[in-house]
Every structure is written in structure tokens, then in C-alpha cells.
């Protein structure tokens, strides 16, 4: 699969090195243009149908996050390339597919590009299709603690779970919400065999309740009740693997 890409990086030497590595080790990437600041990057993004943007964080006239905010909805994936590791959490929150540290490791660059290729191939396969999970929902129950004992829930009645610090909100089909004093990680592990998938650091969803996948906004799913939930780039490949 061919990926149309641009490089947004203020240092010419860094752009040259990255382009050289891509030409030699990632032939599936076609670099459509280069930009040295966010204004030039925004113009390239608006003038091209892109699959991938390589993005430095600190640049003239703003940073990478300013650029992504100006872009708004997007269908391309983003690979951050930076000398600063303290931006990793912000990059994750900006739905980056990968975070590469300078000097760029060739092995890590190949892994990053392969990950984006995997996402794009799965998205293209599922485009305009009715989403049907490969596995049927698993019939089962879970117990949630209460002050006077515990309550039993059918796993099939759960739409999604949302993290709230050390608590978890369990949203049900009957429009009710249960707040439990356990972390989302606990429910991620408990419901692992029941077709629940972590789509974001804050969300765990019932795969059988997903009715639509949207490539805009960096990727999101729509549930049977109309709820739209963002999908982290790092979670996309795993999510899309559930569908045929």
C-alpha cells in the first residue's frame, strides 16, 4: 500500500535525513511535500489528500499541537518526530500513531510506517461496510460491588465503560449508569474474553454495540445508542482487527 505523506520540520538537515531514510527503507511512503513551519504545513495539508504526516513538535509560528488544532477533523495519521520525550503524553492525547525520538532509529521508523500501513489497509477494507464482529458476543455476567453487597450485570447489557480517576462508569443499554470504585484497567482485564476492546485510555467498549467507524477526527466509533467515542491511534489496529 502506498502512503501519501508530508514532512513538517523546521530543520532542513532533519528533513533531509528523514526523507533519505524513507526513500531507502520505507518505499511505500511517497513524500508529497515538505514544510518548515506550521503555516506551510497547514497549506500542504489543505492542498493534498494525505495518509500520513511526519511532524516535529517545536517549530516557528507555533508547535505541532497548534497545527493539529487548526486542521480540525483529519483522516491522516500522525507520526511525531522530536528530540523531546516530555511531549509523549500530549502526542498521545493528540491521537498520534507513533512517537519517534531524534536521532531517528531506522528500525523504529520502519515499525511506525508499518503500523500506519496496517491501520490504513484495515480502514480501507471496512470502508462503507456494515461492521460485523468476527466473534459473537460472549454471554456472561460480572459482579460489581455495592455498599450492601454486590450487583450482577449481564455483560451483553454493557455499552461501554469510562474511566473516572480510580472509578469506572459503566453505561448500560437501558440508559442507566453505574459508578464502581474500580479502575478501568480492572474491567479491561475482566471483560477481555467478552468482546470488549480498549479504544482509548479512558474508554472500553462492547464491540457488538459498535455500528459505525468514522475516519474523521482522527478516528471514532459510533455505538448503537448513537454515542460517538474517539479512538486513539495506538488502539486503532487492535479495534479494527475485530471486524471482517
| pTM of the entire predicted model | 0.74
Q: What is the 3-state secondary structure (H, E, C) of 207-239?
A: HHHEEEEECHHHCEEEECCCCEEECCHHHHHHH
Q: In the prediction, which pLDDT does 88 show? A: 65
Are 94 and 9 spatial neighbours (Cβ–Cβ below 8 Å)? no
| Domain residue extents for the chain | 3-126, 141-240
The cell for 59 is 517549530
Q: Domain 141-240 falls in which CATH fold? A: OB fold (Dihydrolipoamide Acetyltransferase, E2P) (2.40.50)
Q: In the prediction, which pLDDT does 52 show? A: 96
Is the preceding omega at residue 240 within 30 degrees of 0, hence cis? no
Q: In the prediction, which pLDDT does 192 show? A: 81
Q: Domain 3-126 falls in which CATH fold? A: Rossmann fold (3.40.50)
- Cα dihedral: 223, 225, 228, 230 (round 10): -40
Burial 136-171 (b: 16+ CB within 10 A, else e): eeeeeebebeeeeeeeebebbebbbbbbeeeebebb
Query: 3-126 with 141-240: one CATH topology?
Result: no
pLDDT in tens, the chain (244 residues): 899 999 999 999 999 999 999 999 999 999 999 999 999 999 999 999 999 999 998 888 888 888 888 887 788 999 999 887 776 666 666 667 888 999 999 999 999 999 999 988 888 777 656 566 666 655 688 888 877 788 899 999 999 999 998 999 999 999 999 999 999 999 999 888 888 999 998 999 999 999 888 876 678 899 999 999 999 888 888 888 888 6
Are 176 and 186 spatial neighbours (Cβ–Cβ below 8 Å)? no
Q: Is the dihedral of CA 138, 177, 239, 183 positive or negative?
A: negative
Q: In the prediction, which pLDDT does 131 show? A: 64
Cα-flanking dihedrals φ and ψ of residue 220, to 5°?
A: -155, 160
* Residue pointed to by grid coordinates 480510580: 166
HSE-up of 148 (CA within 13 Å, CB side)? 0
Amino acid at each position: 500500500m502506498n502512503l501519501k505523506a508530508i514532512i513538517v520540520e523546521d530543520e532542513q538537515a532533519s528533513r533531509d535525513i528523514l526523507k533519505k531514510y524513507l526513500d531507502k527503507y520505507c518505499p511505500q511512503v511517497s513524500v508529497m511535500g515538505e514544510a518548515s513551519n506550521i503555516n506551510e504545513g497547514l497549506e500542504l495539508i489543505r492542498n493534498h489528500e494525505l495518509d500520513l504526516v511526519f511532524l516535529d513538535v517545536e517549530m516557528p509560528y507555533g508547535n505541532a499541537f497548534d497545527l493539529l488544532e487548526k486542521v480540525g477533523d483529519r483522516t491522516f495519521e500522525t507520526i511525531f518526530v522530536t528530540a523531546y520525550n516530555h511531549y509523549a503524553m500530549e502526542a498521545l492525547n493528540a491521537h498520534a500513531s507513533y512517537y519517534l525520538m531524534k536521532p531517528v532509529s531506522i528500525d523504529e521508523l520502519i515499525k511506525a510506517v508499518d503500523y500506519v500501513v496496517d491501520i490504513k489497509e484495515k480502514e480501507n477494507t471496512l470502508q462503507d461496510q456494515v461492521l460485523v464482529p468476527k466473534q459473537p458476543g460472549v454471554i456472561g455476567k460480572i459482579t460489581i460491588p455495592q455498599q450492601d453487597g454486590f450487583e450482577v450485570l449481564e455483560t451483553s447489557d454493557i455499552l461501554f465503560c469510562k474511566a473516572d480517576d480510580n472509578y469506572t462508569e459503566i453505561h448500560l443499554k437501558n440508559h442507566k449508569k453505574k459508578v464502581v470504585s474500580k479502575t478501568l484497567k480492572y474491567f479491561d482485564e475482566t471483560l477481555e474474553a467478552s468482546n470488549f476492546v480498549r479504544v482509548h485510555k479512558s474508554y472500553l467498549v462492547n464491540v457488538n454495540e459498535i455500528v459505525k467507524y468514522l475516519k474523521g477526527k482522527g478516528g471514532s466509533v459510533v455505538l448503537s445508542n448513537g454515542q460517538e467515542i474517539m479512538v486513539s491511534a495506538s488502539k486503532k489496529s487492535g479495534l479494527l482487527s475485530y471486524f471482517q
